[in-house]
Amino acid sequence: MSAKDVLKLIKDEEVEYVDVRFTDPRGKLQHVTLIVDIIDEDFFEEGFMFDGSSIAGWKSIDQSDMKLIPDTSSVYIDPFYAEKTLCVHCNVVEPDTGEPYSRDPRSTATKAEAYLKASGIGDTAYFGPEAEFFVFDDVRYSVAMNKVSFEVDAADAAWNTDTEYEMGNSGHRPGVKGGYFPVNPTDAAQDLRSEMLSTMKRMGMKVDKHHHEVASCQHELGLIFSSLTDQADNIQKYKYVIHNVAHAYGKSVTFMPKPIKGDNGTGMHVNMSIWKGGKPLFAGDKYADLSQEALWFIGGILKHAKTLNAFTNPATNSYKRLIPGFEAPVLRAYSARNRSGCVRIPWTESPKAKRVEARFPDPAANPYLAFSALLMAGLDGIKNKIDPGPASDKDLYDLPPEELADIPTVCASLREALESLEADHDFLLAGDVFTKDQIEGYLALKWEEVYAYEHTPHPVEYQMYYSC
């Protein structure tokens, strides 16, 4: 859409406010709301000034002036505000030069797409993320000097089979690891998910399905693939809609990778493909009908997997999901259809649907940075013809110890992931997609999280060690 198109939409829809939105380094959507009276064509070209020093990991107070430049292709009407509000995603630029701010995640995504075109390898990268989430009725936590605790609850949780309710206990609940896919009344969230998906559709998002996931209280909605930056925008809208529809139902959503013990964690499998001149680059006559470029792309993903973890699994909590021998894929191996490795090639009859699926990411990720890093790793694989080795078509969960020892794994902690990013990031700097300043700023933010986690006693340590 052009600026004139957006202004016409504002008039036709009788919009009262314009919400300018951007994403911080950790992946949280931020916003400023402007009255529509000040919105004109110049606004879309000149942007909106704001204080960057208030965003963690960005400017210091002596260099705080920054500018938001709206992307008119990203506009949508907010479905939750009482006053008619049009939302637009923005890139962040330096006000004196107009150049993209090096630490702006959305600008990184747009630079990654430009780098792909400049490389000559392809002209479009498509991403299809599958982000899971948990829905709870009650969430409480405390982090104090003398108390560290959390407690979550939900009426349809597996642990409530014997709970006494005023209206009685129906008894219909998915068991532990039993949520995939019983119908209602066992699946009690059908209407909640339908409203989430319908809301996304009304916002112009391309969606296809929803269902209960494996764990108790765990769910997933389906997004149809799109180009890198657009799909990162969609993940931000996906989270926004899910949080707010759940809130309207009196419920709470988390995208934490491992919010409860003893059941499946939450992943965000990321399907990827590259196209060039209207043709799928990943379709060919090699293993699983992949092209040589697709195999090299996989080679890049597997080689740089530990560095990728810093962006695709950026929470200390991520590594409570990525544990060898459990449900999450931690082994750096690839296979057709086999879901036990880090990379899967989904079965498809159409060359147009040929794609590569990274199975280790989770939805704590900043989508702009995670998708960009995945693309850059894959492109590095193609440029340097990185051989991924033979495919692993066995069930990797059942391998004998001597075979398992030969397969490398992803990181086991956020500390390891950050150390890997420090040691291996040159491939991210190609084409100035990521910058050293951006990586240093991101590392500083994430080290704060590691130190906070490592310095805090855990309740299970009291159980294990208090009487030692």
Choosing from 78, 113, 130, 187, which is the catalytic residue?
A: 130
Residue 132, annotated as binding a ligand: yes
Say if residue 321 carries a ligand binding annotation: yes
Q: Are the C-beta atoms of residues 363 and 256 closer than 8 Å to each other?
A: no
Using the 8-state DSSP alphabet, how is residue 396 labeled?
Answer: G
Type and span of the H or E element at 372 = helix 367-383
Element at 20 (helix H, strand E): strand 17-23
213 is catalytic: yes
- If DSSP codes are grouped into helix, strand and coil, which group holds residue 97? coil
269 is in an annotated binding site: yes
81 CB-side CA count, 13 A:
14
Q: Is residue 359 annotated as part of the catalytic site, yes or no?
A: yes
What's the CA gap between 341 and 363, in Å, rounded? 19
CB–CB of 3/44 below 8 Å? yes
Which of 24, 104, 220, 380 is flagged as catalytic?
Answer: 220
Q: According to the annotation, is 327 in a ligand binding site?
A: yes
Q: Return the amino acid letter for 1.
A: M
Q: Binding residue per annotation — 449?
A: no
One DSSP character per residue, 236-264 reads HHHHHHHHHHHHHTT-EEE--S--STTS-
From the list 339, 357, 343, 347, the residue with the least C-alpha distance to 398 is: 339
Annotated binding residue at 41? Answer: no
Q: Which of 106, 193, 304, 359 is catalytic?
A: 359
Whether 51 is a known active-site residue: answer yes
**Is 440 one of the annotated binding-site residues?**
no
Beta bridge partners of 34: 18
Q: Is 208 annotated as a binding residue?
A: yes
Has 220 been labeled as part of a binding site?
A: yes
Write down the catalytic residue from 78, 104, 132, 380: 132
| Residue 416 bears catalytic tag | no
Cα separations (Å) of 356 from 23, 123, 225, 450, 463? 27, 17, 13, 31, 43
Q: Check residue 40 and give left, alpha or beta (phi > 0: left; psi -120 to 50: alpha).
A: beta
Q: Which of 5, 40, 46, 51 is catalytic?
A: 51
DSSP letter (8 states) at residue 341: S
Residue 461 designated active-site: no
Alpha carbon distance 191, 352 (integer Å): 33
Query: Does the active-site annotation cover 230?
Result: no
Q: C-alpha dihedral over 30, 32, 36, 37, to 10 degrees?
A: -160
> What is d(CA 134, CA 120) in angstroms, rounded to the nearest whole number?
41
User: Does the annotation place 359 within a ligand binding site?
Assistant: yes
332 is in an annotated binding site: no
Helices 228-248 and 190-202 pack at an angle, to 10 degrees, of 130
Identity of the amino acid at 389: G
Using CA atoms, how far residue 15 sits from 77, 86, 199, in Å, is 9, 7, 18
Q: Single out the catalytic residue among 156, 357, 362, 380.
A: 357
130 is in an annotated binding site: yes
Written as six digits, the tokens of 26 are 């950790």
- Annotated active-site residue 220? The verdict is yes
Q: Which of 24, 78, 213, 233 is catalytic?
A: 213
- Pairing of the two strands 124-136 and 218-223: antiparallel
The sign of the dihedral angle between the CA atoms of 360, 366, 370, 373 is negative
Residues taking part in catalysis: 51, 130, 132, 213, 220, 269, 339, 357, 359
Annotated binding-site positions for Mg(2+): 130, 132, 213, 220, 269, 357
Report the binding-site residues for ATP: 208, 339, 352
- Residues in the annotated binding site for L-glutamate: 264-265, 321, 327, 339, 359
**Binding site: residue ranges?**
130, 132, 208, 213, 220, 264-265, 269, 321, 327, 339, 352, 357, 359
